[in-house]
Structure 1
Amino acid sequence: MNSAPPNIVPTLVTERLALRAHTVEDFAGSLALWTDPGVTRFIGGRASTEHEVWQRLLRYGGMWGMLGFGYWAITDRADGRFLGEAGLADLKRELLPPLGDVPESGWALLPAAHGRGLGSEAMRAVLDWADRALDRPETCCIIDPVNTASTGLAGKLGYQARHTARLGGNAVTVFYRRRTPQVP
């Protein structure tokens, strides 16, 4: 099976991480991520099935081709190990009120990667890329109000809570971040 990453997905490199296009080989890591109760507790509330994770991987590739942005696989620069996923999406969520066409940022890391600042490092790279590459005035993220770790990270990244919305019958906080102008 050809699993070469699409050349339209830029690779982002930080001190400890490489964010790159997903490949077929990331299925096992993504499945471990999306079936871990510590990860899914605040994101959907249940483990994903193999089918759902496979559909997620396909959706990641499709977003890049159709929207010009999407999700990256987060890997350890030292050994290439899969650590999680982060990026921007337009998921057309059934959210009230809706997000419109504002790119929605998101991140999820395997529990072994928690507590080391890797989510912040990955998302800073994503948002720096977005500020340079996307002509959008802002991005948003939605977070379960009980998820204090993600709420804290959103604040560190410059997101500010704007309102509460309903997603699947649950209240979520919607945060927005204004684009940071880039100096040439």
Structure 2
Amino acid sequence: TERLILRGHTAEDAGHSFALWSHPTTARFIGPIAASPGDAWLRMLRYPGLWAVLGFGYWAVFEKSSGDFVGECGFADFHRDISPSLRGIPELGYALMPDFHGKGFASEMVRGAQGWIDQARNRPRCAAIIDPANTASIRV
């Protein structure tokens, strides 16, 4: 995108992933994801499997100008037990480090991810689950 680089995760991203998913602001609407660096490592190890099995997955997101880690964004099929079912529909997810909130980065990374899946995967439909209290994500 104009300000962001979306790329596949590497082993060097484990610390970034832990900082993101263990932060109370990130967990506010989705619950704690990474209680330890090991939890974040295991989460990050799943990302290549998404790409290999589904043809889509998550990216690590960095600011072009500074090289700073912004967050993660991408798609998955979590096989959630909900109705209506989302099985087979790419489910969008994203999270940003708190320093990048309120600056348009979430909208930019989501537009980039959506543009990619629309073109590369020719997917007419995606989904996102948002807590109604998360007004910032609703705006995205």
Question: Take 1:46 and 1:135, find their aligned partners in 2: how far apart are those partners?
Answer: 33
State the 4+ residue runs in structure 1 displaced beyond 4 angstroms.
none
Describe the superposition over 1:94-144 as per-residue Cα deviations: whole angstroms up to 9, x where unpaired. Answer: 334421211000110000010100011111011111110113220000011
Cα drift, residue 79 of structure 1? 2.6
Alignment partner of 1:143: what SS? Answer: coil
**Within-5 A mapping of 1:1-184:** 14-43=1-30, 45-46=31-32, 48-49=34-35, 50-153=37-140
Cα-to-partner distance string for 1:27-84 (whole Å, 9 max, x where unaligned)? 11110001111111101x2252223211211111111111111000010112322110
Which of the pair has more CA radius of gyration? 1
The gaps in structure 1 that reach 5 residues or longer are 1-13, 154-184
Pairwise CA RMSD of aligned residues?
1.2
Give the structure 2 partner of residue 159 of structure 1: none
Q: Distance in 2 between matches of 1:110 and 1:96?
A: 31
Q: With structure 2 as the length reference, what TM-score do the two structures score?
A: 0.93
**Total equivalences in the alignment:** 139
Give, in whole Å, the separation in 2 of the partners of 1:24 and 1:47: 18
User: How much identity, in percent, do the aligned residues show?
Assistant: 49
Larger proportion of strand:
1
- Return the alpha-carbon distance in structure 2 between the equivalents of residues 140 and 150 of structure 1: 13
Aligned equivalents of 2:71 and 2:32: distance in 1? 17
TM-score by length of 1: 0.72
> In structure 1, how many angstroms separate the alpha carbons of the residues matched to 2:81 and 2:128?
14
**Which is helix-richer, 1 or 2?**
2
Could you say which structure has the greater relative contact order, defined with CA pairs below 8 angstroms and 6 or more residues apart? 2
Give yes or no for contact 1:86–1:122 (8 Å, CA) kept in 2: yes
**Unaligned runs of at least 5 residues, structure 2:** none
